[in-house]
Structure 1
Amino acid sequence: MHSITTALENLMRQLSQEMPAAPGIRVFDVPFPLNDAFDALSWLANQSIWPQFYWQQRNGDEEAAVLGAVATFRSLDLAQQFLRLHAHHADLRIWGLNAFEPQRGNLVLPRLEWRRCGGSATLRLHLYSEHSLREDAADAVRFLSSLVGIKSLPALHLTLTDEKHSPDKTGWMNLIQLATRTIAQEQLDKVVLARATDLQFSRPVNAASVMASSRRLNLNCYHFFMAFSADSAFLGSSPERLWRRRDTALRTEALAGTVANHPDDHRAWQLGEWLMKDDKNQRENMLVVEDICQRLQNCTHTLDVLPPQVLRLRKVQHLRRCIWTALNQPDDALCLHQLQPTAAVAGIPRELARQFIQQNEPFEREWYAGSAGYLSLQQSEFCVSLRSAKITTNIVRLYAGAGIVRGSDPEQEWQEINNKAAGLRTLLQMEV
């Protein structure tokens, strides 16, 4: 018998107890032995219940699959307020996305939460009602009864029928030239500009299959997937942490500066060495470091900036500087609004860069360059939602951006966004 079957039966037994016809919240945890080949993403994607959210920490130690919602929050601020109202359940986790404009979110307290940490896993059921826990328990029984077993995700065999960049290459060249002129006039220090690429296929694209392929090949990344309905999802594999909080201990990072990767280790090392010494890329990274430190200085203790590293990914390599500190008090809403959007995805000064993006980018960023993860009173962790795609039936929208500073070359920046988009594009069995 599969672990998931046993765990669900255990939860059903616990729901047989009498519940009060009163408002409240209840949490039921059952152990989940990792003694079979259970794949949380495949199990999640086989269900006909939404929303679905999958998240894996970039070192692979933590993984979660959540299904359904007993409470939904349209901003992280509202989610944090809810957690503080239920402080007696300090380990409640709320999962989901924050949009590029951080006051908008799609976050849920799930009906069902599978969570693995290291070599142990738990299946958790939430009951929550503002009126009657007894009624919600009956809803939960119906929910569990509707779940189905695991089937393998379908392979990605896709035929491309149309492709459109927004902006196209000519538009990109003009946009970068406008940005560099604005920077030369000292109105901006940096602006991060992005391109959306709509790929149309001959039949619907299975979003979970794209996520599974990306998880298998794009190492050293956070993996996130949110299905809003049967034919609409947002997913990605991002190398960048927005923040991780454990009580007041806070870790964030500046990930800015890019060069191509290479399958030959020695050639990849040479490219990485060039990145460490290149003035434009070092300057771009330090602008992000300085902006983060400035934003956090009034709400944290001493800020420790670690030495630069080269982060090697499948298609590109990045400069990364980690920043460690401690908050004056635990506050995830403060972390979100101080850190997002970082200078690595928007620019400096932040408000002027956001205005430039809003006025000149020919598409809406929505969830792209926002964040994906979870918050609780005890801890939280969000990654920046980069290397991402929006999938709507048979159309895949890929996103990629580049940091524009003084001296940026439009042709090189076009190649950079091609390299970044390749992390997901090559999974769709096409040439880069």
Structure 2
Amino acid sequence: MNSVTVALQRLQLALTEEFADEPGLKRLGVDVTLSDDSDPLAWLACQRLYPQFYWQQRDGNDEVAALGAVRQFNALADAQAFLNTWPQTPSLRIWGLNAFDPAQGFLFLSRLEWRRKGGEACLWLHLYSETSLRDDAREAAAFLEQILAAKPLLPLHLQCLSEHHQPGQDEWHALIGKATVAIGRGEMEKVVLARATDLHFSAPVSAAGFMAASRRVNFHCYHFLMVFDAHSAFLGSSPERLWRRIDSALRTEALAGTVANHVEDYHAWSLGQWLLKDDKNQRENMLVVEDICQRLKQTVGVLDVLPAQVVRLRKVQHLRRCIWTELLKADDAVCLEQLQPTAAVAGLPREAARSFINDFEPFEREWYAGSAGYLSRHQTEFCVALRSAKITGATVRLYAGAGIVAGSDAAQEWQEIENKAAGLRTLLTRTAF
């Protein structure tokens, strides 16, 4: 077994061999020894090569740091088409983001991938060329020469200079009023409305440091970080799976309905029991379940909806119903089209809710409420890009949303988005005021 440094040396040695002067795809892999100091996020943060993508599955067993792009794709369908041309590599993964508009994406086959599964890890180097693998091997060797050793991630020490909401609280109340009027007229059953909060700091914010701080305290979440370049990134710690596919087995879920959490277990349990019995929250969750089942029914077998659970997070608790089924044909592009955006992040009917969001939300969602993860021929998994933030230099934009249905109260919904945003906001501002 090898440290990352030794694994990189072995990959460099492998690149001195002769490669064909013809098109192709090749993977070179070296096992990596795990230790207490093994942190793919810290290693990724030290690199000055882009793009970078970090991912940790919510059970903690699957973790990756992907660095550099051999191929980049602007839509998941294009990434899937590429994978389908290489059926002999079913575990080859393409990583990245799908925007709130699922026709747009930022996905890439990485040059270098540090992947951990449970207690085992491997460093993968990808070679790909439409003309000459020999030439790409030279480019890969030059790439590896630029890899830097990992250093520990430093804690965040930030001074927040200002904070601005879009919409502000008065505008939010007016927006909820418009939504409930539209719902009352029968234009839609539900719409999920969001707020963007811009925090301006005195110095650039470390995206990896922010991700590490969230990872330490936001348990039972998917953690993801896309670093586009030295100045811009998108990250989040999301509790919600969009879908996971293993061959033809599909698992998705409805995560909708919210109540505050509490530091005292009994008080938190009491709030969770209220959530399980509350008509408004149960109705909101079942709308999402029914929408998912309706969208999937033509492409799957029997749909199995599991009983409701309470998911307890750091600041809030949610209702979740898992939905398990079998795909008639394994097709991730179809899954994305059917499932994103779900009623939990857009509303019902989907097009009416999206139209309302486009007309009245005062900011562009971009990657927020899209999805983050990976696809491969054998297995695919994406989480919903919630509890997320966009970093641009010294500015952090936080996002939070709430499902609006008949009877929604604007003040209560404002408090809900405050609670949701606090999961990341407190990591940035607790030492600032």
Q: Distance in 2 between matches of 1:259 and 1:89?
A: 44
Q: 2:56 aligned with 1:56, yes or no? A: yes
Give the equivalent residue in structure 1 for 2:406: 406
Q: 2:100 aligned with 1:129, yes or no? A: no
- Alignment of structure 1 residues 390-401 onto 2, 5 Å: 390-401=390-401
Give the equivalent residue in structure 2 for 1:303: 303
Structure 2 counterpart of 1:133, one-letter code: L
Structure 2 counterpart of 1:277, one-letter code: K
Give the equivalent residue in structure 1 for 2:195: 195
- Bigger shift: 377-386 or 82-91? 82-91
Q: Distance in 2 between matches of 1:155 and 1:396?
A: 17
**Does the 8 A contact of 2:165 with 2:195 survive in 1?**
yes
Q: 2:376 aligned with 1:358, yes or no? A: no
Give the equivalent residue in structure 2 for 1:332: 332
Give the equivalent residue in structure 2 for 1:348: 348
1:391-418 Cα deviation digits (max 9, x unpaired): 0000000000000000100000000000
Gap change, CA 1:331 and 1:218, over 3 Å in 2? same
Q: Distance in 2 between matches of 1:155 and 1:55?
A: 20
Q: Distance in 1 between matches of 2:7 and 2:429?
A: 37
Give the equivalent residue in structure 2 for 1:81: 81
1:63-93 Cα deviation digits (max 9, x unpaired): 0110001000000000000000111212110
1:217-254 Cα deviation digits (max 9, x unpaired): 00000000000001100000000000000000000000
Q: Distance in 2 between matches of 1:25 and 1:156?
A: 40
Give the equivalent residue in structure 1 for 2:219: 219
Q: Distance in 1 between matches of 2:72 and 2:354?
A: 28
What's the CA shift for 1:148?
0.6
Structure 1 counterpart of 2:90, one-letter code: A
1:131-168 Cα deviation digits (max 9, x unpaired): 11111000100111111101122221111111110000
SS, match of residue 288 in structure 1 = helix
Structure 2 counterpart of 1:38, one-letter code: S
**Does the 8 A contact of 1:285 with 1:320 survive in 2?**
yes
What's the CA shift for 1:35?
3.3
SS, match of residue 92 in structure 2 = coil
Gapped runs of 5+ residues in structure 1?
Answer: none
Q: Distance in 1 between matches of 2:35 and 2:149?
A: 17
Give the equivalent residue in structure 1 for 2:102: 102
- Alignment of structure 1 residues 229-244 onto 2, 5 Å: 229-244=229-244
* Identical aligned residues as a percent: 64
Give the equivalent residue in structure 2 for 1:377: 377
**Does the 8 A contact of 2:2 with 2:31 survive in 1?**
no
**Does the 8 A contact of 1:3 with 1:36 survive in 2?**
no
SS, match of residue 416 in structure 2 = helix
**Does the 8 A contact of 2:310 with 2:317 survive in 1?**
yes
**Does the 8 A contact of 1:157 with 1:429 survive in 2?**
no
**Does the 8 A contact of 1:159 with 1:201 survive in 2?**
yes
Give the equivalent residue in structure 1 for 2:93: 93
1:355-406 Cα deviation digits (max 9, x unpaired): 0000000000000000000000001000000000000000000000000000
Aligned residues: 432
What's the CA shift for 1:429?
3.1
**Does the 8 A contact of 1:83 with 1:376 survive in 2?**
yes
Q: Distance in 1 between matches of 2:35 and 2:103?
A: 41
Q: Distance in 2 between matches of 1:180 and 1:269?
A: 31
Q: Distance in 2 between matches of 1:162 and 1:368?
A: 22
**Does the 8 A contact of 2:2 with 2:33 survive in 1?**
no
What's the CA shift for 1:2?
7.2
SS, match of residue 274 in structure 2 = helix
1:243-300 Cα deviation digits (max 9, x unpaired): 0000000000000000000000000000000000000000000000000000000000
Cα root mean square deviation, aligned = 1.1
Gapped runs of 5+ residues in structure 2?
Answer: none
SS, match of residue 68 in structure 1 = strand
Q: Distance in 1 between matches of 2:382 and 2:214?
A: 19
Q: Distance in 2 between matches of 1:416 and 1:62?
A: 31
Q: What is the TM-score when the length of structure 2 is the normalising length?
A: 0.99
Q: Distance in 1 between matches of 2:311 and 2:210?
A: 23
Give the equivalent residue in structure 2 for 1:19: 19
**Does the 8 A contact of 1:41 with 1:54 survive in 2?**
yes
SS, match of residue 372 in structure 1 = strand
Structure 2 counterpart of 1:66, one-letter code: A
Give the equivalent residue in structure 1 for 2:144: 144
What's the CA shift for 1:37?
1.4
SS, match of residue 69 in structure 2 = coil
Q: Distance in 2 between matches of 1:109 and 1:198?
A: 32
**Does the 8 A contact of 1:191 with 1:403 survive in 2?**
yes
- Alignment of structure 1 residues 156-305 onto 2, 5 Å: 156-305=156-305
**Does the 8 A contact of 2:155 with 2:213 survive in 1?**
no
**Does the 8 A contact of 1:96 with 1:372 survive in 2?**
yes
Q: What is the TM-score when the length of structure 1 is the normalising length?
A: 0.99
SS, match of residue 69 in structure 1 = strand
Task: Please list every run of at least 4 consecutive aligned residues from structure 1 whose deviation after the TM superposition is greater than 2 angstroms.
Answer: 429-432
SS, match of residue 377 in structure 1 = coil
Q: 2:6 aligned with 1:6, yes or no? A: yes
Structure 2 counterpart of 1:233, one-letter code: A
What's the CA shift for 1:112?
0.3
**Does the 8 A contact of 2:96 with 2:373 survive in 1?**
yes
Q: Distance in 2 between matches of 1:215 and 1:44?
A: 15
Q: Distance in 2 between matches of 1:309 and 1:35?
A: 35
SS, match of residue 366 in structure 1 = coil
